[in-house]
Amino acid sequence: MDNSNTDSLILKLHDVNAVKFGEYKLKSGMMTPIYIDLRVMVSHPNLMNQLSSLIYQRALEEDLKFNSLCGVPYTALPLATIVSSTHELPMLIRRKEAKDYGTKCLVEGTVHKGDTCLIIEDTVTSGASILETAEVLYKEGLKVTDAIVVMDREQGAVEMLASKGIRLHPIISMFKLLNVLLAAKCINDQTAQSVRKFILDNNTFSPKEENGNGVPSAKKPCKEQNLELSYAARARLPNTHSLASKLLSIMEEKQSNLCLSADVTTSEELLQLADSIGPKICLLKTHVDILKDYSAAFSQKLQCLAEKHNFLIFEDRKFADIGNTVKHQYEGGLYQISSWSHIVNAHAVPGPGVVKGLSAVGKPLGRGCLLIAQMSSQGSLATGEYTNAVVKMAEEQSDFVIGFICGSKITKRPEFIHMTPGVQMKTGGDMLGQQYTTPEDVIYTKGSDIIIVGRGILEAPDRLEFAELYRKSGWEAYSKRLGQFGQEFRDDVYVS
């Protein structure tokens, strides 16, 4: 979906007072510093038409298959009606309550049992309103696999609906809305920070808690939510970057969360490593500038091995300059990194310009970037407020940033991947300040997703044997972590 169209829509919603800041009470009883009131759109037909057009466009982009559509009463009804009328799609109307006269139906329209119905909603917090509508449609013999929502408050609806077999496709996310309003100076940084903190602290979904109807209950505000999705489930979340989705799928398929840090100095040795260890890893990390004999032919051979053994390439370049400079460093020079490396990383010190410069080159190629939020070296300054600022930068540029280099999980948003360096079977350090932690500590205790192992494999007497040892250890720690949250989250939670 074109970002300019979404940005324009957000500003229009703000202009008509559909986005309100203050203190408001939600349907769940939760108090919130931001309220989305899309009911005002009925007085703005141009806005309704724009919203309806984006909803239909999203359905086309996602290649959704459905026979009819249904708007959640009442705010989404006019949107569903416009989509139905404009594109000649059958529509159903769900009543909130059955009448005690006439047909007494809860669903109006022509129902064909076995058909698939697409649900349209205006705003979601927990996703309960969509699930309520889906349950009414289920009783009529219909299927529901997808729902499109104008505004996702990012407080657990995606995960809750996914656990029920419904994919949620948002037009606007809360963090996207805040970023656009902040850039347009419609709100100040303090307001944006306040709302972000509220959203992150108040996830409504926990897989353990359900009410009597089997619907996950809204939770009281809590600093830490025990929500865990499998790699496969995260790969299919609508907000997950396509490259992150590919990496998560590789991890699930190969049962490997191991990244090999191939810090060797000759092309021949690196290619031999990639070929022998490739079946054990999901990611190969390179430092191309330490190779004594780099050539374009090397990068072509490495890409072939990545394809052969189904892993991605991560050039650990650590870009740290102004946007224009990193743009040239990324696409040009001797190494032409963007032409062969799926993933690169960058320091956040230069500000958002460093990501924008890299994105200008990498985004059209389907590449992705990791931001360095924490480091494994002793005395690192990448802590505290700096790490928080890195997370904010990632949220603002999630169309290119796919995750973090970090020591532990630093955000609860499942679309971001956490990768941790400095992993060995025994804790400790070296004479140059590198600090080591174990696979179990990194994956199970600290909640990271990928272990980055270098010397633990490279200096082993049998590299292949130790690569398998690390792969097995990392995967067992991941399985143990999932085991805390119930078997349903260890499998693909989506139903076709």
Q: What is the DSSP string of 343-357?
A: EEEE-STT-THHHHH
**Residue holding tokens 């059958």?**
90
- 3-state class (DSSP) for residue 168: strand
Beta-carbon contacts of residue 23 (< 8 Å; ≥ 6 apart)? 31, 32, 33
Contacts (Cβ under 8 Å, ≥6 apart) of 283? 247, 258, 259, 260, 311, 312, 313, 314, 343, 419, 450
Check: CB of residue 311 under 8 Å from CB of residue 281.
Answer: yes
Find the helix packing angle between 77-87 and 45-61, rounded to 10°.
Answer: 70
For residue 95, the tally of other CB atoms under 10 A from its CB is 13
DSSP 8-state assignment for residue 72: P
Q: Please list, in sequence order, all residues whose beta carbon lies within 8 angstroms of the beta carbon of residue 327, skipping any fewer than 6 positions away.
A: 357, 358, 360, 361
> What residues form DSSP beta bridges with 120?
71, 148
Would strands 31-36 and 167-173 be described as parallel, antiparallel, or unpaired? Answer: unpaired
Beta-bridge partner residues of 32: 24
DSSP 188: -
Q: Active-site residues: which are they?
A: 316, 318, 321
Q: Which residue has the tokens 């080591």?
A: 436
Amino acid making up residue 51: L
Classify residue 131 by burial, with Cβ atoms within 10 Å: 0-12, 13-18, 19+: buried
Q: Which helix (H) or strand (E) holds 416?
A: none
The β-bridge partners of 168 are 147
Write the DSSP string, 99-142.
-SSTT--SEES---TT-BEEEEEEEESSSHHHHHHHHHHHHTT-
Answer whether 203's CB lies under 8 Å from 226's CB.
no
Nearest Cα to 21, choosing from 7, 42, 43, 36? 36
